[in-house]
Amino acid sequence: MTGPVLNHLGKTWLELGPARTAERDGPWRAARDPHGILWLALDVEGAAANTISREVLEGLDRQLDAITQDPPKGVVIRSAKPGGFAVGADIAMFRDLKDADDVKAMLEQGHAVLDRLEALDCPTVCIVHGQALGGGFEIALACDRILAVDGASFGFPEVKLGLHPGLGGTFRLTGRIDPIEAMTLMLTGKTAHTRKAETLGIVEAVVEERHVEAAARDAITGDRKQDGPGLKDRAMTLSVARSLAARKMRSAVEDRAPRDHYPAPHALIRLWEAHGGERKAMQEAEIASFAELVTSETSRNLVRVFFLQQALKKDGDGEDGIAHVHVVGAGTMGGEIAAWCALKGKYVTLSDPDREALGGAIQRANDICKDQHLSGIETRDALDRLMPDPDELGIPRADLVIEAGPEDAEIKRKIYAEIEPRMSSTATLTTNSSSLSITDLAKNLERPRRFAGLHFFNPVSKMQLLEVVSHDSLDGTVSDRLAAFCGAIGRLPARVGDYPGYLVNRALTPYLLEAIQLIEEGHEKETIDHAAEAFGMPMGPVELADQIGLDICLHVAESLKSGLDKPMVDIPGWLSEKVENGEAGRKSGRGFYEWKDGKAQKGNVLKMDAVDEITDRLILPLLDACVECLRKGVARDSDQVDGAMIFGTGFAPFRGGPMHYAKSRGFDDVVARLNEMAESHGERFRPDPGWQDMN
Ligand code: NAD
């Protein structure tokens, strides 16, 4: 069982004791059962999921007043929301905080409430189903015991917002479990699923929903398991041991999140190294450090990214009405698309003239289920929904067909000529093409109004963005349905216009091509990658080109070149030769780099003097292409561009997106620099006329 059970009416049933029918006091419902146990149910009004806000903490404080006046035998805290305990702090709250003093004052109040909860004389038990994240996890940690319903998960995603826990998580978690494990959880922002949480000692026991009441009662009346600190925990109270451990953490973190760009994990290590084991000092340091971080540029930009994500997500609200998906082509992309859709509950048929490709796709589906931590039953169900279909019997029944055949317009047209007449007249046909004109592909179709681009990014199971590419004759309701389909499969839709490379590849291509031009001019590939990574890109352009495949890069570049009215880098002849010689990048074991065990074998960065110049040459043309897309109406607005580039390419999140970066740097400065580079390096840098409209 993975979560709340259903009652006899088929409704989700959570054991809330008498709190189920109790009147709401703010976000809480409270009532005592016949055993004298107070049940406190968190039920934030008007929201599908609980978030921890000022109101939640103030409400809890009022409950604590009542408890102090008339102490119960014990307190059980749980969520009344079927989806889970709490998804973390109300992030909108962070945007409204003015300065560090403002934040400190608010945090001190919140800490006082959780300190009171922790200090209650009666036993307290928190029962968690679903997610207990951030502030939700911190409320649980202030209770004596945490019980989990199978499927529960715990985590501190704060680092993703440029923060660390701020409501006592730093000292309560390091005090409760092995401090190294606690730090790892906080530094990575990962969640611990039920069994892991139990192994770590976060959770005292895992219970089934139908046994919650009895388990809660036992936990209130039973003895608290007192393991006492382990050897490692005691060792970590020594500052020498902490310093050693902190040094290791720092070097692990620095690779993923350089201090200049992502100060939060470093601040967390600093505060644990200085005060670990000294609760009061750590609490004060946590408040001061959080207040500083939350008002920093990085955190503000990462909070912005959170809202950009929400805005993209919103575009995928609504019913997709798609139950059955047929995927044509079981290669790199088609195989993963099919697996992902099946994982997300769609019934999927998958065809390919190459039967081996079908077998490979099923194997990859298995791997993805593992990566996604699906249980045995969930994996079985997902694989049951994925049917290899060499005879394409699924086509007439499919609500949506996704074509992921080779990137060749002629082949795609032939595929459509065969399948479109067999499709239901209400079904939608889409292509995963990464560069072909959707308008051209729509020509000769019987129902062009029901045809669109549905551009997944590679790897499908990791990249959150999906471009829904329209064309002049696309039916608006089909576009809505496709956006809703993205939402239904847990992806973020970006509705974009038909344009060479659409939005994301249009913007990314000059970044990749400029890197090739820099190599042509004699720059070290390691220096080029270093420049981009130092700017904050997740991977340098040379390594990225190898990852994508140099053949694909060449193909995209050629097809963009013929469709754009701007000059692009002349692609050197040696690049095609390289591809012809079987050096197509990671997949062939060699491209610009040698690849071993999935890793590019990089040398040291030898020349650092040209780094700033290289950064501008890589990044500014990308910004310029974004402006061009805005001017041409390919993208809706700057926020959509920022969201799409972050979730489609990993563009330096702490910079808030390419357009936000351009704005912070100053549009005039960017334009001036582009003009300078146009003079020194060629017309491809000449700024787009669209910059005039930027403000
Ligand atoms: P691939 O070569 O790995 O797979 C293509 C599959 O299509 C092969 O399994 C092949 O057997 C099959 N095929 C060939 N002829 C067919 C036909 N007539 N009918 C049905 N299937 C046929 O290619 P891929 O990388 O998966 O790319 C597929 C599509 O996705 C292309 O349009 C590509 O531009 C696009 N795309 C690729 C990436 C990427 O990174 N690889 C990213 C985004 C989009």
Q: What is the pLDDT of residues 522-532, one digit of tens each?
A: 999 999 999 99
Nearest CA to 622 among 528, 509, 533, 515?
509
Q: What CA–CA distance (Å, rounded) separates 84 from 529?
A: 42
C-alpha of residue 313 to centroid of ligand 1, in Å = 27
How confident is the prediction for the chain on average, in pLDDT?
93
Which ligand 1 atom lies nearest to the CA of residue 333? Answer: 26
The band of 202, judged by pLDDT with boundaries at 50, 70 and 90, is very high
Exposed e or buried b per residue across 342-381, where buried means at least 16 C-beta atoms within 10 angstroms of its C-beta = bbbebbbbbbbeeeebbebbbebbbebbeeeebeeeebee
Which ligand 1 atom lies nearest to the CA of residue 354? Answer: 11
C-alpha of residue 413 to centroid of ligand 1, in Å = 14
pLDDT of 234 over the 80 cut: no
pLDDT tens track for 33-58: 999 999 999 999 999 999 999 999 99
Q: What CA–CA distance (Å, rounded) separates 46 from 238?
A: 48
| Nearest residue (CA) to ligand 1, atom 8 | 331
* 108 annotated active-site: no
C-alpha of residue 107 to centroid of ligand 1, in Å = 52
pLDDT of 184 over the 70 cut: yes
Task: Report whether 85 contacts 50 (CB < 8 A).
Answer: yes
Q: What CA–CA distance (Å, rounded) separates 486 from 204?
A: 38
Distances (CA, A) of 141 to 86, 273, 515: 13, 21, 49
Q: How many CB atoms lie within 10 A of CB 7?
A: 10
Q: What CA–CA distance (Å, rounded) separates 205 from 201?
A: 9
C-alpha of residue 345 to centroid of ligand 1, in Å = 23
C-alpha distance across the termini of the chain, in Å: 54
C-alpha of residue 405 to centroid of ligand 1, in Å = 4
Rg (the chain; Cα; Å): 27
pLDDT of 229 over the 60 cut: no
pLDDT tens track for 461-487: 999 999 999 999 999 999 999 999 999
pLDDT of 227 over the 60 cut: no
C-alpha of residue 83 to centroid of ligand 1, in Å = 37
Nearest CA to 498 among 553, 574, 559?
559
Q: What CA–CA distance (Å, rounded) separates 256 from 614?
A: 22
Q: What CA–CA distance (Å, rounded) separates 100 from 294?
A: 8
Strands 5-6 and 12-13: antiparallel
Which ligand 1 atom lies nearest to the CA of residue 328? Answer: 20
Query: Out of 111-115, 238-242, 370-374, which region has the weakest mean confidence (pLDDT)?
Result: 238-242
Which pLDDT score, from 0 to 100, does residue 225 have?
52
Q: Which of 138, 403, 543, 628 is catalytic?
A: 138
Token pair listed for 526: 């390691």
Distance of CA 438 to the CA centre of its chain: 28
Token pair listed for 301: 């930009």
User: SS3 of 599, please?
Assistant: strand
Q: Which of 158, 209, 392, 533 is catalytic?
A: 158
pLDDT of 127 over the 60 cut: yes
Helix/strand number for the chain, H first, E second: 28, 22
Which pLDDT score, from 0 to 100, does residue 183 have?
96
C-alpha of residue 90 to centroid of ligand 1, in Å = 42
Q: What CA–CA distance (Å, rounded) separates 375 from 486?
A: 24
pLDDT of 606 over the 80 cut: no
Cis before residue 459, ω within 30 degrees of 0? Answer: yes
Q: What CA–CA distance (Å, rounded) separates 621 from 509?
A: 9
| Nearest residue (CA) to ligand 1, atom 39 | 458
C-alpha of residue 328 to centroid of ligand 1, in Å = 9
Token pair listed for 409: 């317009």
Task: Report whether 209 contacts 149 (CB < 8 A).
Answer: yes
**To test ligand 1's pocket by mutation, which of 333, 420, 462, 506 has the most ligand atoms within 8 angstroms of CB?**
333
Which pLDDT score, from 0 to 100, does residue 1 have?
40
Which ligand 1 atom lies nearest to the CA of residue 414? Answer: 18
Q: What is the mean pLDDT of residues 73-94?
A: 92
Phi, psi of 412 (to 5 degrees): -65, -45
Token pair listed for 601: 């074998």
pLDDT of 685 over the 60 cut: yes
Which ligand 1 atom lies nearest to the CA of residue 411? Answer: 18
The residues, any chain, with a CB within 8 Å of residue 110's CB and separated by 6 or more, are: 54, 57, 166, 167
Residue with tokens 């922790």: 118
Task: Report whether 146 contacts 128 (CB < 8 A).
Answer: yes
**To test ligand 1's pocket by mutation, which of 395, 432, 461 has the most ligand atoms within 8 angstroms of CB?**
432
Query: Out of 106-120, 212-226, 483-497, 614-628, which region has the weakest mean confidence (pLDDT)?
Result: 212-226
Q: What is the mean pLDDT of residues 672-680?
A: 97
| Nearest residue (CA) to ligand 1, atom 31 | 407
Which ligand 1 atom lies nearest to the CA of residue 433? Answer: 32
Q: What is the mean pLDDT of residues 108-130?
A: 97
Which pLDDT score, from 0 to 100, does residue 689 have?
97
Task: Count how many Cα atoms sit within 13 Å of the Cα of residue 693 in the half-sphere of its side chain.
Answer: 14
Which pLDDT score, from 0 to 100, does residue 232 have?
61
| Nearest residue (CA) to ligand 1, atom 16 | 405
Ligand 1 neighbours, Cβ below 6 Å, are 328-334, 352-354, 357, 404-407, 411, 415, 432-434, 456, 458, 548, 552
Which ligand 1 atom lies nearest to the CA of residue 548? Answer: 40
C-alpha of residue 438 to centroid of ligand 1, in Å = 16
Task: Please indicate whether residue 280 or residue 227 has the higher confidence score (pLDDT).
Answer: 280
C-alpha of residue 332 to centroid of ligand 1, in Å = 7
Task: Report whether 312 contacts 463 (CB < 8 A).
Answer: no
The band of 536, judged by pLDDT with boundaries at 50, 70 and 90, is very high
C-alpha of residue 389 to centroid of ligand 1, in Å = 16
Task: Report whether 37 contacts 75 (CB < 8 A).
Answer: yes
The band of 228, judged by pLDDT with boundaries at 50, 70 and 90, is low
* 278 annotated active-site: no
Distances (CA, A) of 536 to 256, 664, 666: 10, 15, 18
Phi, psi of 78 (to 5 degrees): -155, 175
Task: Report whether 367 contacts 329 (CB < 8 A).
Answer: no
Q: What residues pair up with 206 in beta bridges, in sequence order? A: 148
Strands 145-149 and 124-128: parallel
The band of 351, judged by pLDDT with boundaries at 50, 70 and 90, is very high
Task: Count how many Cα atoms sit within 13 Å of the Cα of residue 64 in the half-sphere of its side chain.
Answer: 20
DSSP for residue 82: T
Which ligand 1 atom lies nearest to the CA of residue 405? Answer: 7
State percent of the chain over pLDDT 90: 83
Helix, strand, coil share (%) of the chain residues, nearest 5: 55, 15, 35
The band of 624, judged by pLDDT with boundaries at 50, 70 and 90, is very high
pLDDT tens track for 288-347: 999 999 999 999 999 999 999 999 999 999 999 999 999 999 999 999 999 999 999 999
Amino acid identity of 216?
Answer: A
Q: Is the pTM of this model over 0.85?
A: yes
Q: How many CB atoms lie within 10 A of CB 561?
A: 17
Which pLDDT score, from 0 to 100, does residue 95 have?
75
pLDDT tens track for 419-470: 999 999 999 999 999 989 999 999 989 999 999 999 999 899 999 999 999 9
Which ligand 1 atom lies nearest to the CA of residue 431? Answer: 32
Q: How many CB atoms lie within 10 A of CB 77?
A: 27
Q: What CA–CA distance (Å, rounded) separates 687 from 689?
A: 6
C-alpha of residue 277 to centroid of ligand 1, in Å = 55
State percent of the chain over pLDDT 70: 96
Q: Which run of H or E residues covers position 429?
A: strand 428-431
The band of 492, judged by pLDDT with boundaries at 50, 70 and 90, is very high
Q: What residues pair up with 456 in beta bridges, in sequence order? A: 466
Nearest CA to 136 among 276, 242, 263, 27?
27
Which pLDDT score, from 0 to 100, does residue 672 have?
98
| Nearest residue (CA) to ligand 1, atom 9 | 331
Nearest CA to 499 among 567, 571, 552, 440?
440
